[in-house]
Amino acid sequence: MKTFLLKTFGCQMNKDDSERITGLLRLEGYSPCEDESVADLFIYNTCCVRESADRRFYGQAAALKQLKEERPALLIAVGGCLAQMDGDIVLKKLPHVDIVFGTHNVGELPNLIKEVENERQSRCEIKTSSSDFTGDLPAERKSRWHAWLPIMVGCDNFCTYCIVPAVRGREKSRPKEILINACRALVDDGVEEITLLGQNVNSYGRDLYGETKFAELLTEVASVKGLKRVRFTTSHPKDLEEKIIDIVASEKSICSHFHLPLQSGSDSILKLMGRRYSAASYLRLLERIRSKVDDVSITTDIIVGFPNETEEDFLATLDVVKTAKFDQAFTFKYSARPGTAAAHFENKISDEVVKDRFDRLLEAQNLNSYESNKRMLGKIVRVFIEGMSKKNVHPLAARTDSNKLVHLDGGRDLIGKTVDVRINEAFTWFLIGERKGAK
């Protein structure tokens, strides 16, 4: 039997695509493998959201040159967002690569492999759009209990820094009935938790039905029998409707967690970024969410060092971070992406200034994360046990509904179970809990 080794970079969209790639290749008689020295096929599912992601891929893939010389039958395929962006530049930079396939070409991978095997000639297939959804392809999930469900692809927002609309195309929603049927089938297959995926889930349905239908979709998904937890990501602050907050507050199976990327706390930078909300309206939104949804957790993404960002702008971001008290924040240094509007902006910020701001932001957020975890002390919370952790002395790793990581004692037999735990210790990145009733 032939084997393949798949490396995935980037966001949940790519993780889901990788589960589809695995599903497709299984049907072709391939089996997954982790051992570089024996795999017949290497596949890289790449990301290009920041330059660091590009570098990581090119660095790793360059190292395959020698392996390919030793084993000429080895096939190397590169897909995902960087493949979509760079196209045959990938082949120019890495002549030992055999196949480059775009984000809209995932379904063609099995045929491309066969053709290249027969012709021994490298191929680059990049479509700019497709009427098919990768999400309709068969998936082999990594987890027995959790499934990703892409409800839409692409993005129409064109934030000035962002490459995603260029590499994922325009917003395209999958029909509601198909999604609900997919949820039912997943539950029949043992899935307990589904994460609905989209770059901007709040605009779900607009292209398909002429108006947004995310509230309806969420309500219907939440009522699928046997589904224990529903998560969704990402929400754009400008599009989050009041109905969604109400649904999250009232539907027990929907996790009380919102990922709401702030990006900047300065109104002038938000304007340059094309985000279409203000710091004040963002903070008001958080207040509304917190007043309605009990024990809600709010996470965010923030970029520092966007062109023209002054010390004052940065201090405005720090202020919002301190006021918002995010449970977690993913912080990034601005990275100019070719083809985006911001790549042409003047007044770039120097590396030293960016680093200094990044460190100060991290310090402020770490304090928030710690405070947020400390508020959990003594509480009894429901957690889902996801697996064993390698590093912690309390070996089980579990997630609260609000997506916080909890370590606790117990054996493998508990993996996949939902249990109540008392939170005994809080750290910046995780909590330590104890099973209720267990001693």
Contacts of 353 (CB under 8 A, 6+ apart): 305
Give phi and psi for 424, each to the nearest 5. Answer: -105, -30
Query: Which member of 155, 245, 421, 423 binds ligand SF4 (CB under 6 A)?
Result: 155
Identify how many contiguous H helices and E strands the chain contains and give both numbers: 15, 19
Cα–Cα dist 252/38, whole Å: 47
Instruction: Output the six-digit token pair for 265.
Output: 């706390």
Classify each residue of 26-39 as buried b or exposed e, where b means 16 or more C-beta atoms within 10 Å of its C-beta.
Answer: eeeebeebeeeeeb
Give the Å distances, CA to CA, from 198 to 12, 351, 368: 9, 32, 27
Q: Which does 48 bind (CB under 5 to 8 A by kind): ligand SAH, ligand SF4, ligand F3S, none?
A: ligand F3S
Under the binding rule (CB under 6 A), the answer on residue 49 touching ligand F3S is yes
Under the binding rule (CB under 6 A), the answer on residue 161 touching ligand SAH is yes
Query: Which member of 4, 6, 13, 318 binds ligand F3S (CB under 6 A)?
Result: 13
* Closest approach of ligand SF4 to the CB of residue 161, in Å: 7
Under the binding rule (CB under 6 A), the answer on residue 49 touching ligand SAH is yes
Which amino acid, residue 315?
L
Nearer to ligand SAH, 295 or 301 (CB): 301
Cα–Cα dist 271/87, whole Å: 32
Contact criterion met (CB below 8 Å) for 236 and 214:
no
Give phi and psi for 266, each to the nearest 5. Answer: -105, 130
Query: Which member of 164, 349, 376, 408 binds ligand F3S (CB under 6 A)?
Result: 164
Query: Which member of 13, 126, 164, 421 binds ligand SF4 (CB under 6 A)?
Result: 164
Residue span 223-252 as binding mask against ligand SF4, x where in contact by CB under 6 A, dash where not:
-------------x----------------
Contact criterion met (CB below 8 Å) for 41 and 12:
no
Instruction: Output the six-digit token pair for 177.
Output: 């009935």
Query: Which member of 160, 203, 263, 368 binds ligand SAH (CB under 6 A)?
Result: 263
* Closest approach of ligand SF4 to the CB of residue 331, in Å: 15
> Per-residue DSSP letters for 376-423?
TTT-EEEEEEEEE-SS-SS-EEEEETT--EEEE---GGGTT-EEEEEE
Instruction: Output the six-digit token pair for 122.
Output: 């490298």
Looking only at the bridges linking them, the beta strands covering 380-388 and 396-400 are antiparallel
Under the binding rule (CB under 6 A), the answer on residue 11 touching ligand F3S is yes
Q: Which does 337 bind (CB under 5 to 8 A by kind): ligand F3S, ligand SF4, ligand SAH, none?
A: ligand SAH
* Closest approach of ligand SAH to the CB of residue 122, in Å: 29
Question: Which range of residues in 311-319, 327-335, 364-372, 425-433 is near ligand SAH by CB under 6 A?
Answer: 327-335
Exposure on the CB side of residue 306, measured as CA atoms within 13 A: 27
Nearer to ligand F3S, 231 or 435 (CB): 231
Q: Which does 10 bind (CB under 5 to 8 A by kind): ligand F3S, ligand SAH, ligand SF4, none?
A: ligand F3S
Interface with ligand F3S by CB under 6 A: which residues?
A: 10-11, 13-14, 47-49, 81, 163-164, 167-168
Residues that bind ligand SF4 (CB under 6 A): 155, 157-159, 162, 164-165, 199-200, 236
Residues in contact with ligand SAH by the rule CB under 6 A: 49-50, 161-162, 164, 199-200, 234, 236, 261, 263, 301, 303, 332, 334-335, 337
